[in-house]
């Protein structure tokens, strides 16, 4: 087990237990964790400590606030968030499955009806977010999760508040899109 996971487990003792790293982006690392209280698997996203030290946690905290206020069937909800021993984190459902990118890499092409269903689900979620002033800035197959043969929420989407041409950006939105 890596030193960061050991430190994170110590900081989150009694709440969450980190099992493994699921992925890493520019701002944060996502871990598979056990939610001890609710006895379920979750995805725990943690701001990189070195980034927090350099640019501060404000951008990540804005992402948390934005994500917490989006409630749509194709956007993964926020379960919890907080700060523990210098780690800033938020918790989302863990989606068993794969990204659209992984699926396309394996199959190269989707059946037309499934591709249309995924596009429709993603468009619906983006329309919902846009209607609330949130602009997703990182739509790509790697940020769309597919669960049990269904399309899943946007995952790791980058977004900001305001119009694309307004120059107003308050950080990255990282809700996960779920296509069902």
User: Does the pLDDT at position 54 exceed 90?
Assistant: no
User: How far is the first Cα of the chain from the last one, in angstroms, to the nearest whole number?
Assistant: 35
Please, what sign has the CA dihedral across residues 131, 134, 138, 142?
Answer: negative
DSSP letters of 52-68? HHHH-SHHHHHHHHHHH
Please, what sign has the CA dihedral across residues 65, 53, 136, 143?
Answer: negative
Confidence of residue 150 (pLDDT cuts 50, 70, 90): low
User: Does the pLDDT at position 164 exceed 60?
Assistant: no
User: Does the pLDDT at position 160 exceed 50?
Assistant: no
Residues 6+ apart with CB under 8 A from 2: 21
Confidence of residue 17 (pLDDT cuts 50, 70, 90): very high
User: Does the pLDDT at position 23 exceed 90?
Assistant: no
Residue with the larger pLDDT of the pair 155 and 93? 93
Please state, for a pLDDT cut of 90, what percent of the chain lies above it: 35
Of the listed 34, 35, 85, 138, which one is catalytic?
Answer: 138
**Which residue has 């087990």 as its token pair?**
1
Does the annotation mark 105 as catalytic?
no
């Amino acid at each position: 087990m890596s030193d960061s996971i050991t430190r994170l487990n110590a900081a989150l003792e009694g709440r969450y237990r980190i099992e493994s790293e699921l992925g890493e982006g520019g701002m944060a690392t996502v871990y598979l964790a056990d939610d001890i209280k609710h006895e379920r698997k979750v995805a725990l996203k943690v701001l990189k400590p070195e980034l927090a030290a350099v640019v501060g946690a404000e951008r990540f905290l804005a992402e948390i606030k934005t994500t917490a206020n989006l409630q749509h069937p194709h956007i993964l909800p926020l379960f919890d968030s907080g700060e523990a021993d210098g780690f800033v984190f938020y918790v989302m459902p863990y989606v068993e499955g794969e990204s659209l990118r992984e699926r396309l890499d394996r199959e190269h092409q989707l059946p037309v009806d499934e591709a249309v269903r995924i596009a429709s689900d993603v468009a619906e979620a983006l329309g919902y977010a846009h209607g609330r002033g949130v602009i997703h800035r990182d739509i790509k197959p790697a940020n769309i999760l597919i669960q049990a043969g269904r399309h899943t929420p946007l995952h790791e989407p980058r977004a900001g508040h305001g119009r694309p041409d307004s120059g107003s950006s308050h950080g990255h939105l990282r809700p996960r899109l779920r296509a069902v």
